[in-house]
Chain A
Amino acid sequence: MSNAATFDTRTETAIPVESPLAYSYRRSGAPQAGGPSRLQLRERAMLGHLILRGGAIVLDEAVRDVLGLNLPGQPQTLVQDASGERSIQWLSPDEWLVIVPGGEEFPLETKLREQLGSAHFAISDVSGGQTLIELSGEAARELLMKTVVYDVHPSHFPVGKGVTTVFAKATTILRRPSEDRWELVIRRSFADYCYRWLLDAGAEFGINVQQ
């Protein structure tokens, strides 16, 4: 067990928690298309986000034992469990993003630390610093083509791929967990900018924000 100081960021006390988009919903609302919409936006708020850093071999063993998932060793890859609720994404040769249902991140971090013992590694809980936005609908790819510099054509961006790239004038993690669904992981400080960009860019497709 490492001697790193850890604490659960979700406390028992009744502190109101807000997603990074709380302000945006108040300011810009959540537009609904009148009729059938070609584009849906949904925030998956308050998920558990952990950054794992270290050697691939050591982390892979721990992650398989604790989470039952293989650490994606290939660049730009994303793996998920059967339910699709837990995922690990390659971010760099020694860095991975783990996303789990909200509340699971601290027990997971604790178990990983126990498993990894004195190995050379780092785990950071970044749940409060970013949020996940889900885009679906037939126009999702068209919206992304206007937004990111990365080539999102299916031949270049198959299901199971994930990249960090430029989103308008900010950055995003962009991933494709299934055929008709894209996920954006955006930073809290850029969340309002990204949300308003998506509303503006999505207006022509009749964007539908689900809350």
Chain B
Amino acid sequence: MFYIYCPYCGEHREEEEFHPKGQAHLERPKEPEACSDEEWGDYLFFRDNPRGVHHEMWVHAVGCRKFFNVTRHTVSYEILETYKMGEQPSITADSQSQAREGAAVSQQEGVRA
């Protein structure tokens, strides 16, 4: 059993009720005609494949049938947060690495003391 928190249903639900729908926060170019082939190709076909924190769209397919965003760690599969469409993530790769550096510094300080 693996539970995912649906921000619209307001509770954890079984994984079987959800489908992943790819990278989140993709923005369609406002003027496609003004794009170069490379810009348009990047938008259509190229996706991030990070090792670590990734923002994805998921849909609560058997449930409220709403799309929402998931911040997931691609190595541990840990879901760090879920948030509604239109919202911004509070956890990012940057915020994670800062937290890690902070933890490393305080550990060193702990050793010194």
Chain A residues in contact with chain B, CB under 8 A? Answer: 75-76, 91-93, 95, 149-150, 163-166, 171
Contacts and interface: CB of A to CB of B under 8 A. Distances in A.
Contact of B64 (A93, A150, A166, A171): A93
A166 B62 contact: yes
Q: Chain B contact residues: over half helix, strand or loop, or mixed?
A: loop
Contacts, number: 38
24 contacts: A75-B9, A75-B10, A75-B11, A76-B9, A76-B10, A92-B63, A92-B64, A92-B66, A93-B8, A93-B64, A149-B14, A149-B17, A163-B9, A163-B63, A164-B62, A164-B63, A164-B64, A165-B14, A165-B62, A165-B63, A166-B14, A166-B17, A166-B62, A171-B62
B9 A166 contact: no
A148 B53 CA distance: 32
Interface string B63-82: 11110000000000000000
A149 B66 contact: no
B39 interface: no
Given A166-B62, A171-B62, A92 B16 contact: no
Given A149-B16, A149-B17, A166-B14, 9 more contacts: A75-B8, A75-B9, A75-B11, A164-B63, A164-B64, A165-B13, A165-B17, A166-B16, A166-B62
Interface of B: 8-11, 13-14, 16-17, 62-66
Contacts of B10: 75-76
A164 B66 CA distance: 12
B88 to A, nearest CB: 19
Nearest to A167: B62
A92 B60 CA distance: 10
A51 to B, nearest CB: 12
Contacts of B65: 92
A91 B64 contact: yes
Contacts of A95: 64
